[in-house]
Structure formats: structure tokens, C-alpha cells
Structure 1
Amino acid sequence: MKNLNFKIIVSFLGLTSMLNGFFMLIAVPFSIYYNEPEKLGILQAGLTTILLGFLLWFFNRKAKKNLGKKEGYIIVTLGWLMLSFTGTLPYVFTGAIPNFTNAFFETISGYSTTGSSILTDIESMPKGILFWRSATHWIGGMGIIVLTVAILPLLGIGGMQLFMAEAPGPSADKMHPRITETAKRLWLIYFSLTFVEFFLLKFAGMTWFDAINHAMATMSTGGFSTKNASMAHYNGMPIIQYIVTAFMFIAGTNFVLTYFALKGKIYKVFKSEEFKYYFFGVIGTTLIITLIIINFQDPNLVTTIDHPKPWGSNESAFRHAAFQVVSVLTTTGFVTADFTMWSSLATMIMFSLFFIGGSAGSTSGGVKIVRHIIIIKNSVLEFKKLLHPNAIIPVRYDGQGIPKNIVFNILSFFVLYMGIFIISSVILSLFGLDFQSAMGAATSSLGNIGPAIGSVSPVDNFNHLSIPAKWMCSFLMLIGRLELFTVLILLTPFFWRKN
């Protein structure tokens, strides 16, 4: 294999940095509107990021346009690191989060759409910084790499390798034969749904600032809120929580299916095997949690974050159950209640959802539902093969046989995922976390979920973690967002060998 084209890699990192800087500048008008002194720090951060990106691009703009698989993996991983490091500048330059470790944790939590936070008083933060914090979610939701793929043809660069490395989860569906058109349509759907949710939340009673921030955090399945109590702040406004629940569900659905639904091809949505498991799984789990809350909830427990009183009705039990099930399953991480107070059974059910994730082709994290479907089907086939060892029985999904290499890839992913979860839990326990908190922090970071169990429950945050633990969680957020292989392949010796 030919040598790596390092110039095109650096050139692309420059483009990524410039785009990130322009997004930072969007936060400046918010700071000006609220007459905040931090506007100068945000402006400085944006201009610095743009200048850095311009220099990287300018001195490598004449690089050869050939882009192979290896360059694709390097660009995606380093691109996310570039976003995360430059994304800390608004926090550092304004003094909102002066500690670099904390600033990096908050930033990569945003871009990876994890939603874990080190902030102890969110509502005291400057509005410009809060908008930037939510914007990191929105940028990372669909992936700034995919956004850039849409403009790469203007530079004479093909983008298929980047899209394949960035696309969230296995998906055989295609919206359009040209990857550039696919990226553009994905972003159009993403932007449109964000705007619709913003309008509905504003109409339902949120301020325009809170509405736009929560809309960005919802559609990215991120979970950063502008309120200390997260969505529990709106426990007295059920319509807002129902709107957010609906859009979290949409965000956790394969965007290709969303595209078909918007085109009026509803039959394609319900033909999807993954969507049927997703849809009925949400309904079934919600009903189970609702019954647990109604029948087994101790009324003396503090069941909601900002309202320490018993449940007022079956409706509220259903609403909080639905909200938390969808929030955890889609890895959004918004909270309306502390689900760890819903009895040990409910806590175990919620914790099990941490390992499922949303649909492939959505902005959610986790293992993804389609992988679980194929793993279960393959396991059932193994029993059949014990009785019929000579039979050739393929794993079928959506009525089609799945090639063995895809099945093996999914099995490898799951084994690797669980292995990383176990090892990282042990490492985090060595960094001072108790057993439950270590597991919670590990699975939350790896699955890009946010609130977990133990000392990182919905009523806590990650500020108390040691510096090594924060960096460990940051690494887990990165590899979880890029689905393990994209990052970990760079750590293998054979990746760097010349063939």
C-alpha cells in the first residue's frame, strides 16, 4: 500500500477547525443580546480556531486529492479530537471552566452527545457559553464530518471513506446513490426537525433561549440542559415533557426511515425489523416501569429531582416512565426523575437499557438494536445447527440473508464492547470510584448516555471524579461515539505497516 497522504489529512483537519470556529461565532450574538462580558472571550476563541484551521488548510491545500481507507479512519478520529480540543477554547478564554481537564471533559461530552457534565450550577453560566455547550451537541449529533463530506466535492475529494467511518451503526438502507446527496439530505432532516421542536417547545411555554437549547440537545440525543434539574424543571408542564419524549424517540430512529416517513412511505418504516423492536420495546418497557412506579414505589422517597413528593396520578407515573425509558434507550440523558429511586427492579431494568442503544443510522449511541437482533438470531441458529450440523442456514434480517462477515463483525463488536466496559470499570475503580459508580460511569461514557447509577446518578454529576478518571471517561466517550473500531484500529501495529 502506498504511503499515507498526511497533507490531505492535515488539510481536512484545517477545514474541520474552521467550521468549528464559525459555529463558535454563532454563540457571540447570544452573549451580546444578554450583555455578557464573555462575548469577547467567545469571539477570541472562534477567531483563534478559524485562524488555526486556515493555516493548516492553506499550507496543505495543494495536497493530492487521493483519499484511502486509512486516511479516512485517521481523519475521522483526529477530526473529533480537533473539535474537542478547539472546542474547549470558549470555556477557557471566558473563564467559565478554567480547568482544562474539566473543559475538555465538558467539550467531548458535548461532541460525543454523551451529556455528562462537571458543572454544578448550570443556571449561573453565561448564556453565550450555554448556547455553545448545546451547539457542541448539535454539531456532534449527525457529525461534522458528514457535514464536511457534503462540501468535499467542491474541493475535488471523494467522501465515501469518511461517511463509512463516521456513519453511526450498521445500516444497509440507502437514501440516495450519491453519498454527498445523502449527507445533505440527512442534515436537512436534522435541521428541520430541530426547528420544529424549537417552535413546539416555545409554543408550549419554554423561553426562546431554553427552547433552542433543548431542541438541539434532543435531536442530537445529547442531553445538556440549561436547567440544574434538567427536564425535571418542567415537571409542572407535562406537555413540554411529552414533546421532548416524542422527539427523543424520533432522534433515536434510523434517519433513513425518517426520510421515508417524510416522503409518505410509512409502509417502509413498519417493514423495518429494527423499528418494530424499537417501537414495541419502548411501549413494553414503559408499561412495566409504570406499573412498578404505581405499585411498588415508596411514597416517602424523593421521586423527582425538584418535587420531593409522591406521584400525583397514574398519568405522571406513565409520563416519567416513558420519558426516562426513551431518554436512556436513545442515550439522550435528559432526566425528569431519579430512576435509581424507583426500586431495585426498576433500576436494574433501566441499567440494562444502557447496553441496548437506539437504532442504527440515528444520532444515538450504545450497541444499537440491530446488533442485538442479529446476535440473538445467530444464537438461535447455533441451536438449530446442533441438530442439523450439515444445514446451511443464514441469519436473516428484514427478509434477507446477512453475510457471515457482517455477523462476525457484529459479534466482534459486542465482545469488544463488553470487554472494554469490564476493563474500564476496573480502571475507574482504581481511580477511586466505588463498584456501582465505576460501572455506571463506564457504561454511561462508552454508550454516550449521561446520567447513570451510583455517584453519577441523575441527581449527581461527574465533577467529583479524579483527573485520571475524567480522562478515562473522555476516552470512552470518543471511542463510543465512533463505534470502537474507528479509533481502536489506529492503536494496532498492522494499521501503520506498509503493505
Structure 2
Amino acid sequence: MVNGVFMMLAAVFSWFYDEDVLGQIILAGTVAIGSGGIIMFLTRNHRKEIQKREGYIIVTFGWVFMALIGTLPYIFTGAIPNFTNAFFETMSGYSTTGATILTDIESLPNGILFWRSITHWIGGMGIIVLAIAILPLLGIGGMQLFAAEAPGPSGDKLHPRITDTAKRLWLIYVGYTLAETILLKMAGMSFFDAINHSLSTLGTGGFSTKNASVAYWNDKPMIQYILILFMFLAGTNFVLSYFAFKRKFQKIFKDEEFKMYGLFVVGLTTIAALLIYFEADVSASSIAHPMVWGPAESAFRHALFQVVSLITTTGFISADYTMWTPFLTIFFFGMMFLGGSAGSTSGGIKVMRHLIMIKNGVLEFKRTLHPHAILPVRYNTKAVPQPIVFNILGFFILYMLSFIIGTLVFSWLGLDFKTALGGAASTLGNIGPGLGNLGPVDTYANLPSAAKWWSSFLMLIGRLELFTVLILLTPFFWRNR
């Protein structure tokens, strides 16, 4: 039903721009609202208690059915008549991956372009609520640590009730979206482009209204700096944004994950900027107007943009970074395995998990020297329970296994090694651009149908923290209690 309401919002844009597809978008919204209403009516008297098993099923199949319903505007309007392609595009939208099968985005009706962007926005906020309200209760991938740090039973929680927590985060999310739209409009974007890119940015998605993505505005550096700022904010724990609005800045600067997140951005941007300035030809890799404020600023801006875009898993591009140097190609590929902060709209492994794994690794050296000493892993001065450390290590191993299996399946389906490698890392990490034939200036249009379905599966498990979906594939999950 919520999907249907947002389809009606897309219909408003279609009506405003006097497009022929208005009726089809309204029909898609009517079908979505109607079918949701019928299901709600038929299940109104069912038991509302949810156990862990039901939680896994609701989250996984909720996302799948959301994607199935989300294909209706594409299919009804004929924008993407093929169901496989429509499902891929919708799953890419809701999972905030930003990979696309469209080869000429600018030819689409504005109502469809808006629907495409709003799927990022819906998926992004859904992930924040998921991270705060649901995954910690299910014990997914170490997210219970985030629950303890943010909305848990301490005095720092946003509000005792999860619903009120979600409302406060919605307000921040909407506020950021409006602020970015206004700033992008002031910087030179049209209102329609500004609202679409704001929806994509806050969801860390990457869908653009232009074929060249953000490189279309390489002649307007201020637009790219605004996008960088909001990509960084979207990749930050949204609870920290709440603390910032409450003027509790000390909590932000004491947060270890935020400090490492900032350190990643600063350090990686410095390395990339120096390499781009001294070794890469930015003019050859930029789609238009590469140097407005000089070569030094251009190198810094492109480095910062790509670093923030990849770490936050947004996937916007300002240049084809695979055309710079082989080292920079591998350098940016490695960033696909970082991810933003826990409690953000970013995909990937997450900075918090990397931090705890590094700390645990360092402690292993100390434990080797002092086998009888009790040396707990500490995060934000608090000892991390051992089960959570094991959970995070297990998540990392499962993530890397999923990446390896994903690459092997892509290779089996006919993709070359470089393309298979980039495709698996990009879809599993919800990033968008990959390597080879799936690089920053390419699309997923030429993938075989089976590879598109496999990509959709990787996007889903990556977005829902692996365990949520993969546990449904285990036989013991379905056995009687």
C-alpha cells in the first residue's frame, strides 16, 4: 500500500509534465494499494505476535514482494516491458544498489524517472528502520552491538519506543532530502534533477536522471561538492545526526566508528588525489568539462567524489576511474568492501565490523604473549561480548564466501573474469558500478537473463545483511520447533 502511495506521487510528476503514461502509473498505484488493502483485510484477525522465525520470513519476503509490486510502473508504461529487466531495476532501486539495465535514461518519462529514484529513498529509510528495530532483535551480523550503542536501554537512546525512534529518523531523513534539494537547485540543477538526485543520495543508491550520471555536471563543481556532503551524511550513522541536532557533539566525536569512517575518507582521498594529479589523465576519463577550477582542484574533487561514492556504496560517478591507472582501478575496487557506518543507508560490510575485526586481530597478538590474560575487545570504551565478536567474524567470512561464489557463478554464466569480479563485488555490496563490461560508464543491459536474476539475489542478500536471507536456505530453519 505504501508502494502504491509513492506510485501516485510519481503520477503527480507525470501529470505536471503532461506525459502520456499518466494513466498507466495511476493504474499501477491503484493495483498496489488495492492488493495491499485486500491482504490487510483478509489477515486482520490473524495473530500479531512475531517470533524470530517469522521475523526472518517477513523481512526477506517483504523485500521480495516490495520489488515485485515495484515493477508495475515499468511494465504498465512499457518503459521496461521485459519482466526480468523490470525486476532487476526495481531490486536495484530498493536495495539502493543503483545498477541499471537502461541504456538511454534521458528518454524515459519524468514520472518513471521519479519512481526509479523514489525506490532508492524508500529502500534507504527501510534499511535504517531495519538496522535499528529488527536486525538487532534477530541478532543479525553483529547489529545487536549497534542496538546497544544507539537505541538500546541506555540513557543515550533516541526514545524508549522503536516506533518513536523510527519517526525521529524519518524526520532527519526527510529534512536532509529537502535541504539537499534546495542546495542542488541553488547550485544550478533543475528542480526535477535536484529532487531525484536527493532521493538517490540519501538512499545511497546512485540512480541519476542523466546518462552520464553526475559527470553531466562536471562544469559545476559546487553541485558535486553538495552531493559529496550528503553522501557522507547518508553513510554516517543516522543516530549521530540526531545527536548533532540535539547539540550533543561530544557523542559524535567520541564515536570510534565515525572517527574511522572520517579517517578512511581523508586518507583514501589524499592517496587518490595525489595519484590522479601526478599520474592520471582526468580529461580523458571525464565525460565533460573536467577542469573548471584548475587541475589540482579537479584531481581533489574527482578523488573525493569517487572515494565517498564508493565507501558509502552510493555509486554516483564523476569520471571513469577505470581509465586512470591500473593501481587506482584496484584501489577503488578495494573500497567496495568497506561500506559506510552501521545505522546508515550504506551497504557493504560496514566500518564498525572492520574496526572490531582489526581490534580483535591486534588483541590476538597480545593473547599469544599473555595466554592467561583477559583481554576483551572494546568499542566506545565498552567491552564487546564475545558472541558478538564471533558473529562479526562469521559475517565477514560469509560475506567473502558469498563474493567468491558470486564471482564463480557469474563466470559460469559467461562473464569474463574482470567483469565477474566487479559484478559480484558491486551487487553484493549494493554499489552499482563494477569493473570490465560493468564499469562506471557501462550498464547491466547485456547480461544474460540468468545473470540478472543472480545479480538480484546478490543485491537482496547484501542489503539484508546475509544471515536474514541465507538462514531461510538452511533445512533446520524449517524443522518443527
TM bracket (short chain): over 0.9
After superposition, where does 1:83-98 map in structure 2 within 5 Å? 83-98=66-81
1:404 is matched with which residue: 380, 386, 389? 386
Check the 8 A contact 1:332/1:449 in 2, yes or no. yes
Q: Counterpart in 2 of 1:46?
A: 29
1:105 is aligned to 2:88: yes
Q: Counterpart in 1 of 2:150?
A: 173
1:492 is aligned to 2:469: no
Q: Which amino acid aligns with 1:372?
A: H
Please give the alpha-carbon distance, in whole angstroms, between the structure 2 residues aligned to 1:309 and 1:219.
27
1:173 positional shift: 1.6
1:483 positional shift: 0.5
Please give the alpha-carbon distance, in whole angstroms, between the structure 2 residues aligned to 1:52 and 1:460.
36
Q: Counterpart in 2 of 1:260?
A: 243
SS across alignment from 2:302:
helix
* TM superposition score normalised by structure 2: 0.95
SS across alignment from 1:222:
coil
1:448 is aligned to 2:430: yes
Check the 8 A contact 2:219/2:288 in 1, yes or no. no
Please give the alpha-carbon distance, in whole angstroms, between the structure 2 residues aligned to 1:267 and 1:144.
26
1:353 positional shift: 0.6
Please give the alpha-carbon distance, in whole angstroms, between the structure 2 residues aligned to 1:27 and 1:271.
42
Question: Deviations for 1:391-440, whole angstroms, at most 9, x for unmatched residues?
Answer: 11101111111000000000000000000100110100111111011010
Which shifted more, 418-427 or 311-320?
Answer: 311-320
Q: Which amino acid aligns with 2:249?
A: I
Please give the alpha-carbon distance, in whole angstroms, between the structure 1 residues aligned to 2:139 and 2:33.
23
Please give the alpha-carbon distance, in whole angstroms, between the structure 1 residues aligned to 2:80 and 2:390.
44
Please give the alpha-carbon distance, in whole angstroms, between the structure 2 residues aligned to 1:371 and 1:184.
27
1:55 is matched with which residue: 38, 57, 71? 38
Q: Counterpart in 2 of 1:130?
A: 113
1:305 positional shift: 2.4
1:271 is matched with which residue: 248, 254, 261? 254
Q: Counterpart in 2 of 1:155?
A: none
Please give the alpha-carbon distance, in whole angstroms, between the structure 2 residues aligned to 1:340 and 1:144.
30
Distance change >3 Å, CA 235–CA 212, structure 1 → 2: same
After superposition, where does 1:156-235 map in structure 2 within 5 Å? 161=134, 164=137, 169=143, 170-171=145-146, 172-174=149-151, 175-235=158-218
Q: Counterpart in 1 of 2:50?
A: 67
2:420 is matched with which residue: 438, 444, 447? 438
Q: Which amino acid aligns with 1:340?
A: T
Distance change >3 Å, CA 416–CA 77, structure 1 → 2: same
1:377 is matched with which residue: 352, 355, 359? 359
1:307 positional shift: 4.7
1:298 positional shift: 4.0
Check the 8 A contact 2:291/2:298 in 1, yes or no. no
SS across alignment from 2:257:
helix
Distance change >3 Å, CA 231–CA 164, structure 1 → 2: farther
Please give the alpha-carbon distance, in whole angstroms, between the structure 1 residues aligned to 2:127 and 2:380.
30
Q: Counterpart in 1 of 2:330?
A: 348
Question: Deviations for 1:86-127, whole angstroms, at most 9, x for unmatched residues?
Answer: 000000000000000000000000000000000000000000
After superposition, where does 1:18-37 map in structure 2 within 5 Å? 18-37=1-20
1:335 positional shift: 0.4
1:302 is matched with which residue: 276, 279, 284? 284
Distance change >3 Å, CA 164–CA 450, structure 1 → 2: farther
Considering only aligned residues, what root-mean-square deviation do their CA atoms show, in Å? 1.9
Check the 8 A contact 2:292/2:298 in 1, yes or no. no
Q: Counterpart in 2 of 1:11?
A: none
Distance change >3 Å, CA 128–CA 310, structure 1 → 2: closer
Q: Counterpart in 2 of 1:6?
A: none
Check the 8 A contact 1:146/1:163 in 2, yes or no. no
Q: Counterpart in 2 of 1:393?
A: 375
SS across alignment from 2:285:
coil
SS across alignment from 2:215:
helix
1:390 positional shift: 1.2
1:163 positional shift: 7.2
SS across alignment from 2:225:
helix
1:317 is aligned to 2:294: no
1:146 positional shift: 3.6
Question: Deviations for 1:47-99, whole angstroms, at most 9, x for unmatched residues?
Answer: 01111111111111011221111111111111101110000000000000000
1:243 is aligned to 2:206: no
SS across alignment from 1:187:
helix
Question: Deviations for 1:303-334, whole angstroms, at most 9, x for unmatched residues?
Answer: 21235889941001101110010000000000
Alignment gaps of 5+ in structure 2: 152-157
Check the 8 A contact 2:302/2:319 in 1, yes or no. yes
* TM superposition score normalised by structure 1: 0.91
Check the 8 A contact 1:303/1:309 in 2, yes or no. no
Please give the alpha-carbon distance, in whole angstroms, between the structure 2 residues aligned to 1:323 and 1:448.
17
Q: Which amino acid aligns with 2:49?
A: N
Q: Which amino acid aligns with 2:256?
A: E
Check the 8 A contact 1:88/1:107 in 2, yes or no. yes
Q: Which amino acid aligns with 1:55?
A: I
Q: Counterpart in 1 of 2:155?
A: none
SS across alignment from 2:469:
helix
Please give the alpha-carbon distance, in whole angstroms, between the structure 2 residues aligned to 1:408 and 1:274.
19
Check the 8 A contact 1:146/1:162 in 2, yes or no. no
Please give the alpha-carbon distance, in whole angstroms, between the structure 2 residues aligned to 1:309 and 1:19.
44
Please give the alpha-carbon distance, in whole angstroms, between the structure 1 residues aligned to 2:179 and 2:291.
34
Alignment gaps of 5+ in structure 1: 1-17, 150-158
Please give the alpha-carbon distance, in whole angstroms, between the structure 2 residues aligned to 1:212 and 1:278.
27
1:469 is aligned to 2:451: yes
Which shifted more, 102-111 or 19-28?
Answer: 19-28
Please give the alpha-carbon distance, in whole angstroms, between the structure 2 residues aligned to 1:452 and 1:430.
18
Q: What number of residue pairs does the alignment pair up? A: 471
Distance change >3 Å, CA 321–CA 83, structure 1 → 2: same
Q: Which amino acid aligns with 1:131?
A: F
Please give the alpha-carbon distance, in whole angstroms, between the structure 2 residues aligned to 1:226 and 1:372.
34
Please give the alpha-carbon distance, in whole angstroms, between the structure 1 residues aligned to 2:7 and 2:61.
19
Please give the alpha-carbon distance, in whole angstroms, between the structure 2 residues aligned to 1:195 and 1:45.
26
Q: Counterpart in 2 of 1:288?
A: 271
